[in-house]
């Protein structure tokens, strides 16, 4: 039996990496509770409510104006549109887009994420198509969707370029995608690499790439330079732009308790500025305008 959690990614086949990704995300639900467990039954209404509160709070510096993620998801443009979410996780974004009137299809490599998103929609009395599927092999015809959304997913794929090509393929000619991946130059990213190389004695024993994916969630992960990720999508789209964003840890890369105390005395204006300059997330918009 392959130990997906310890084998080096650069020694794996593509199939092994995707199997490792599926195994890791099936075993580790993305519920923001790994250090402070949610005190409710998993997949209950109360569990979703608390998980969403944590996620929305963590995203407050860049994502929300009047409703969750309205700075990033064009809700007003989605009514009646066919939308694909690549990597639905626990389903918050799926729910938000359904509530905006979109006809949503959500996919995820992990069966637990598929189950969670389906359960969330059932509890909320909402409907969407939720499928277990691989972003590198989307089971949809060319030009099926008006909009594709993916939050922190395709950088975990064994072949991010293949996922980007598939997203472009299933979009309509005038469609748009919005994608978040990890920023290689983020302040918290740099701190994570230094921690692994120096304090965990990785210097000389591990490459920078290995320290990068060891510093974050998941079985494997790539971190992208802004120009590099934009160029990847320019292979498929004419209009490509990106911005940096992130959470408290990107503005104040300290241990969580100390970071919380420091953030209380720092103005939000500084925190927002900091994540726009050194944020750990690279958020890209790509389309083919008429």
How do residues 74-83 score in pLDDT, each as one tens digit? 999 999 999 9
Global model pTM greater than 0.85? yes
Print the domain residue range for 268: 9-287
CA within 13 Å, CB half, 200: 16
Q: What does the pLDDT look like over 32-77, one tens digit per residue?
A: 555 667 888 889 999 999 999 999 999 999 999 999 999 999 999 9
Residue 78 placed within a domain: yes
Q: What is the DSSP letter of 156?
A: G
d(CA 230, CA 249): 24
Nearest to 178 by CA among 197, 153, 144, 204: 153
Residue 3 placed within a domain: no
Residue 63 placed within a domain: yes
Residue 4 placed within a domain: no
200-204, 232-236, 242-246: segment of lowest average pLDDT: 200-204
Q: What does the pLDDT look like over 117-159, one tens digit per residue?
A: 999 999 999 999 999 999 999 999 999 999 999 999 999 999 9
The phi and psi torsions of 130 (rounded to 5 degrees) equal -125, 120
pLDDT classification of 3: cutoffs 50, 70, 90: very low
Burial of 108-142, coded b for 16+ CB within 10 Å and e otherwise, reads bbbebbbbbbbbbbeeeeeebebeebbbbebebee
pLDDT classification of 6: cutoffs 50, 70, 90: very low
Q: What is the pLDDT of residue 160?
A: 95
Q: CATH number, domain at 165?
A: 3.40.50.150
Nearest to 249 by CA among 265, 270, 271: 271
Find out whether 284 and 182 touch, Cβ atoms under 8 Å: no
Q: What is the pLDDT of residue 80?
A: 98
DSSP H or E segment with residue 50: helix 45-58
Domains contained in the chain, number: 1
Burial label, 25 (beta-carbon count in 10 A; 0-12, 13-18, 19+): buried
Residue 1 placed within a domain: no
d(CA 287, CA 290): 10
């Amino acid at each position: 039996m392959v130990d997906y959690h310890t084998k080096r990614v650069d020694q794996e086949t593509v199939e092994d990496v995707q199997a490792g990704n599926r195994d890791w995300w099936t075993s580790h639900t993305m519920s923001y509770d790994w250090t402070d467990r949610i005190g409710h039954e998993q997949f209950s209404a109360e569990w979703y409510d608390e998980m969403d509160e944590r996620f929305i709070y963590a995203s407050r510096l860049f994502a929300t104006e009047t409703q969750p993620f309205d700075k990033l998801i064009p809700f007003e443009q989605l009514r009646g549109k066919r939308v694909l979410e690549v990597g639905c996780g626990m389903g918050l974004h799926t729910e938000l887009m359904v509530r905006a009137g979109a006809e949503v299809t959500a996919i995820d490599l992990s069966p637990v994420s598929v189950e969670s998103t389906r359960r969330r929609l059932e509890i909320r009395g909402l409907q969407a198509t939720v499928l277990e599927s691989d972003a590198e092999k989307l089971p949809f015809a060319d030009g099926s969707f008006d909009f594709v959304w993916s939050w922190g997913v395709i950088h975990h794929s064994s072949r991010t370029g293949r996922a980007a090509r598939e997203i472009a393929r299933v979009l309509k000619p005038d469609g748009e995608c919005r994608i978040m991946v990890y920023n290689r130059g983020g302040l918290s990213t740099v701190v994570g690499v230094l921690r692994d190389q120096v304090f965990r004695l990785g210097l000389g024993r591990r490459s920078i790439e290995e320290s990068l994916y060891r510093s974050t969630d998941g079985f494997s992960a790539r971190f992208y330079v802004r120009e590099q990720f934009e160029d990847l999508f320019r292979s498929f789209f004419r209009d490509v732009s990106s911005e940096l964003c992130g959470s408290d840890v990107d503005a104040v890369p300290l241990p969580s308790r100390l970071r919380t105390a420091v953030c209380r005395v720092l103005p939000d204006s500084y925190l927002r500025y900091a994540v726009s300059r050194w944020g750990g997330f690279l958020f890209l918009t790509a389309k083919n305008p008429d």
